[in-house]
Amino acid sequence: MFEALSSKLNGVFDRLRRRGALSEADVQEALREVRVALLEADVALPVVKDLTAKVRERAVGAEVLKSVSPAQQVIKIVNDALVEALGGGEADTGARGIDLNAPAPVPLLMVGLQGSGKTTTSGKIALRLKNRDKKKVLLASLDVHRPAAQLQLETLAKQVGVASLPIVAGQTPLQIAGRAMDLARRELFDVVVLDTAGRLAIDEALMAEVAEVKAFAQPHETLLVVDAMTGQDAVNTARAFQDKVGVTGIVMTRIDGDARGGAALSMRAVTGAPIKLLGAGEKLDALEDFHPDRIAGRILG
Ligand code: GDP
C-alpha cells in the first residue's frame, strides 16, 4: 500500500532538497504536486484540501524558508499533517489496539461487507488475544444467511485453538448472540467475538440486522472491517456503517496489496472513527497495530 503515493511524494521532496534556498513560490509549487499525488492516491477531496491548507499555513512562514534546511522543514510539516490526518493528534498518538477495559465476558462485534475479511479478522483477533493477552476467547458467527460462514468460523477457531459456539440450525442472530453470552458467562470466557453477517453491498436489511444485534449485545467495541483495495468505496461503506450502526474502530484489511492508500488517509476525517488495526495478509498472524506516525513514515520513507 502507498507505493505510488510514496514514490511521488519522494520525487517532489527530492526536487525541493536540491534547490537549497526556497522561495514561497517553490513551496507553493511543491504543494500543488503534493495535492495531485494525494488525489491520485484516492484521498478524499476535503481531506486533501484540509491537509494542503495546513501545510501551506505552516510552511510558507519566513521561519521555515529562512531555516538552514527549508526542504527538511517542509517535509516535517507534511509528515505532521499526515500523522494528524491518520488520526494521530496529540490526544491519541501511539498504538490503538482493542479496548478490553470492561467486565468479562467482553463482547466485540465485527461488522462489514461480505468479502472484506471480517471472518478472517475475527480469527486473527482471537489468536492475538489468546497468545499475547492470554485471554479465553469464544468465537461466534451470527451469519444465518450463509450457513458456510458459520462453518468457516468454526474451522478458524480450531486453527487458532479457541472455542467456537456450537452451531444450532434455525436460530436468529439475536438468539445466537444470547447463547454466546450465556455460554461465555457460564464458562468464564474473557472475550466473545461476535461475527455478524455481511452483504455484497450496503442495504437496509443488513444495517437493520446489525443495528439490532448491536442494541442487544451491547458490544464494548464495534469493529468495522473494510478492504483497503476498494479505495473510496471503503470510505463510503465506513460512513454508512458509522451513520446507521455506530462503530468504535476500523480494521483495514489487504494493506499487503497494492491499494493506493487514500482510504486510510480519509477514514478518520470522513467517519470520525479511528483505524485500530491493519490486516496485512491471509495468514492468521498477519494483524498489525495501527500507528499513525509509522504509517506516515512509510508514506514518506
Ligand atoms: P468476510 O466475507 O468478510 O468474512 O471475508 P473473509 O474473512 O472470508 O475473507 C475473504 C478473503 O480475503 C479470504 O480469502 C481471506 O483469506 C482474504 N483476506 C482477509 N484479510 C486479508 C488481508 O489482510 N490480506 C489479504 N491479502 N487477504 C485477506
> How many percent of the chain have pLDDT more than 70?
97
Predicted structure pTM score:
0.92
Nearest CA to ligand 1 atom 16: 282
- In which band, very low, low, confident or very high, does the pLDDT at 66 lie, cut at 50, 70 and 90? confident
Nearest CA to ligand 1 atom 25: 281
- In which band, very low, low, confident or very high, does the pLDDT at 134 lie, cut at 50, 70 and 90? very high
- In which band, very low, low, confident or very high, does the pLDDT at 90 lie, cut at 50, 70 and 90? low
- In which band, very low, low, confident or very high, does the pLDDT at 92 lie, cut at 50, 70 and 90? low
- ipTM rounded to 2 decimals: 0.99
- In which band, very low, low, confident or very high, does the pLDDT at 45 lie, cut at 50, 70 and 90? very high
Measured over all CA atoms, what is the biggest interatomic distance in the chain, rounded to whole angstroms? Answer: 72
* 77 labelled binding-site residue: no
* 115 labelled binding-site residue: yes
**Which residue's C-alpha cell is 497468545?**
131
* 195 labelled binding-site residue: yes
Mutating to test ligand 1, I would choose from 120, 223, 226 the residue with most ligand atoms within 8 A of its C-beta, which is 120
Is the model more confident about 66 or about 164?
A: 164
- What mean pLDDT comes out for the span 6-29? 88
Ligand 1 centre from 152 Cα, in Å?
Answer: 12
Task: Assess whether pLDDT exceeds 90 at residue 139.
Answer: yes
- Residue 122 CA: nearest ligand 1 atom is 7
* Any atom of ligand 1 within 6 Å of the Cβ of 120: yes
| Mean pLDDT, all residues of the chain | 91
4, 299 contact by CB (below 8 A): no
Residue 109 confidence (pLDDT): 98
Task: Assess whether pLDDT exceeds 70 at residue 95.
Answer: no
* 255 labelled binding-site residue: yes
Residue 203 confidence (pLDDT): 87
- In which band, very low, low, confident or very high, does the pLDDT at 88 lie, cut at 50, 70 and 90? confident
Distant-in-sequence, close-in-space partners of 273: CB < 8 Å, separation ≥ 6 = 224, 238, 242, 247, 248, 249, 250, 267
* Any atom of ligand 1 within 6 Å of the Cβ of 279: yes
The lowest-confidence range among 80-89, 117-126, 251-260 is 80-89
Cell triple for residue 28?
507553493
* Any atom of ligand 1 within 6 Å of the Cβ of 271: no
Residue 174 confidence (pLDDT): 97
* Any atom of ligand 1 within 6 Å of the Cβ of 256: yes
Task: Assess whether pLDDT exceeds 80 at residue 93.
Answer: no
298, 80 contact by CB (below 8 A): no
Ligand 1 centre from 70 Cα, in Å?
Answer: 44
Task: Assess whether pLDDT exceeds 80 at residue 230.
Answer: yes
- In which band, very low, low, confident or very high, does the pLDDT at 94 lie, cut at 50, 70 and 90? very low
Distant-in-sequence, close-in-space partners of 153: CB < 8 Å, separation ≥ 6 = 119, 122, 123, 139, 140, 141, 164, 195
Burial 252-290 (b: 16+ CB within 10 A, else e): bbbbbeebbbbbbbbbbbbbebbbbbbbbbeebebbbeb
DSSP 274: P
Residue 89 confidence (pLDDT): 64
* Any atom of ligand 1 within 6 Å of the Cβ of 281: yes
> How many percent of the chain have pLDDT more than 90?
68
Alpha carbon 115 to chain centroid, angstroms = 15
- What mean pLDDT comes out for the span 208-221? 95
3-state secondary structure of 286: coil
Residue 191 confidence (pLDDT): 98
